[in-house]
Amino acid sequence: MSVEVCSYRLTMRGKPVGTHVLKTENKGRLVRMEGKSTFQGGLGNLSITQSSRSAADTHHSMRFREETQERSENRAFDVAFDEATGLVRATRGPRDVAETPYLRPYRDPLSLLNEVRNLGERGASNVAMLGKDVTIQYVGEVDLSTSIGHKRARAYVLHPGQSVVYVDVQSPHTILKLTQRLADGHVDALLVKVASEPTLEAFADERRQERAGSTGKKRRGRRKPRRRRHT
């Protein structure tokens, strides 16, 4: 299936402060997602790219990575949820690695958003995330004016934090608006465009596995030529 690409305009107190692009690709039992935010003005000059791989039916995270670029400094945070070893492994660099038991079906920030899209007229409590649980409260429907027209949306409030997610009531239940509360105000992400792309870039280890699987299939498909007997 193709990749859904949703582009958002970021504003704070009515002034533009950046852009956000959220990409979602459903691949059978897996969902790949990528969110890239570029900030300017009152929020500084930096970009944050988040990547996620999660289960399509349960939204449990399998892998999450966040990369931050600010001036000449690049930072990366990578989390692997490994059911085989029963560990969650978080890495900030070659010498900064932490592990904790994989005890609960954790979500990451992107798979949580994908879960909200599929809730319908209900909420969810005790959603497991690293460091804290999240409660998703459904608060009703509202009318929104967006760049793609007037829309009817379901509104959900996330606790803690009081962020609000507005989801189109019509399938495929696109996220129309997000409001994130900060100490000195709130940032609104309002949908301005929906497009598609052929495919989404995978994690490096996924790419290696896919190449290995493709090579294996090619090798298995080759047949040795028969040797002709001379009489």
Identify whether 40 is part of a domain.
yes
Per residue in 141-177, pLDDT (tens digit) is: 999 988 888 999 999 999 999 999 999 999 999 999 9
**Number of domains present in the structure of the chain:** 1
Identify whether 230 is part of a domain.
no
Identify whether 222 is part of a domain.
no
DSSP-assigned letter for residue 14? T
Identify whether 224 is part of a domain.
no
Identify whether 127 is part of a domain.
yes
Identify whether 219 is part of a domain.
no
Range of the domain at 50: 3-213
What's this model's pTM, rounded to 2 decimal places?
0.85
Q: Are 24 and 30 in contact (CB under 8 A)?
A: no
Q: Are 165 and 156 in contact (CB under 8 A)?
A: yes
Per residue in 70-119, pLDDT (tens digit) is: 887 889 999 999 989 999 999 998 788 999 999 999 999 999 999 999 99
Identify whether 223 is part of a domain.
no
If we measure between CA atoms, which residue out of 35, 26, 48, 45 comes closest to residue 7?
A: 35
Per residue in 198-225, pLDDT (tens digit) is: 888 776 656 555 565 555 555 555 555 5
pLDDT at 39 over 80: yes
Identify the band that residue 231 occupies on the pLDDT scale cut at 50, 70 and 90.
very low
- The confidence score (pLDDT) of residue 205 equals 59
Identify whether 231 is part of a domain.
no
- The confidence score (pLDDT) of residue 201 equals 79
Share above pLDDT 70 across residues of the chain, in percent, rounded to a whole number: 87
- The confidence score (pLDDT) of residue 33 equals 97
- The confidence score (pLDDT) of residue 38 equals 95
How far apart CA 34 and CA 52 sit, in angstroms, is: 6
